[in-house]
Copies of this chain bind each other. A is one copy, B any other.
């Protein structure tokens, strides 16, 4: 143990039933707020603490109400239905008087899954690690506004980093190898963060501004195998000042372990 991510998502039960205390880490700031996916992992950890027999997120839908800030927070978990196989909860992450994120989620035990797998989605196509572009090359001015970059070892597809030199591909796809910097192995709670860790796919459309998320829904489809993850973000429909961003996460065993879709504001 002793991985930094475990400390950063740690929750402590309070006396109020269903309430958990957390501390949002400054190391997860990006631009004007704390990364949304990281906050989902904190919420996810609180829900797991409230549901000891159903430790794994299966589906989570998050609506973003205000930007999170580093510092104290609490999570209120309300179990709406606790069935034989899955439980469904509502939960809020709150700082002071402001709800940051409100979620609905279904939890279960992914270790007890039916073993049948029929995946027709093609695995994410990434060149070998050594041919990809490391986030450690990010310029100091970017690292300053995005300290969360220090949390990851990311290796971007070399054909999808045009945005870093002002030459975006215009394709609306961003993919990368991914792991936490200190080698913590992935688990279902971590995947709630991974689906929102890459830069917005709009960077590859030449829009370098902030793309605030309205809604993000994630499905965790299996416990990930140890090792590097492959992550891909893609948008196929920019309209009405918004865009959808689909994300897939594949594990080192070649399994599609998470799918998510978010709706975000298209940067002007």
- Chain A contact residues, majority secondary structure: strand
Shortest A245–chain B CB gap in Å is 11
Work out how many copies of this chain go into the complex.
2
Let me know if B106 and A80 touch, CB within 8 A.
no
A140 to B102, CA, bound (A): 45
CB distance from A217 to the nearest CB of B (A): 4
Is B113 in contact with A241, judged by CB distance below 8 angstroms?
yes
Q: How many whole Å from A103's CB to the nearest CB in chain B?
A: 8
A39: interface (CB < 8 Å): no
Q: A116-B238, A239-B113 are in contact. Are A215 and B106 (CB under 8 A)?
A: yes
Query: Considering only CB atoms and an 8 Å cut-off, how many residues of chain A contact the other chain?
Result: 48
A residues 99-133 touching B (CB-CB < 8 Å): 99, 102-104, 106, 110, 113-114, 116-121
Q: Would you call A240 and B222 a contact (CB within 8 A)?
A: yes
Contacts of A99 in B (CB 8 A): 80-81
Assess whether B90 is in contact with A90, with CB atoms less than 8 Å apart: yes
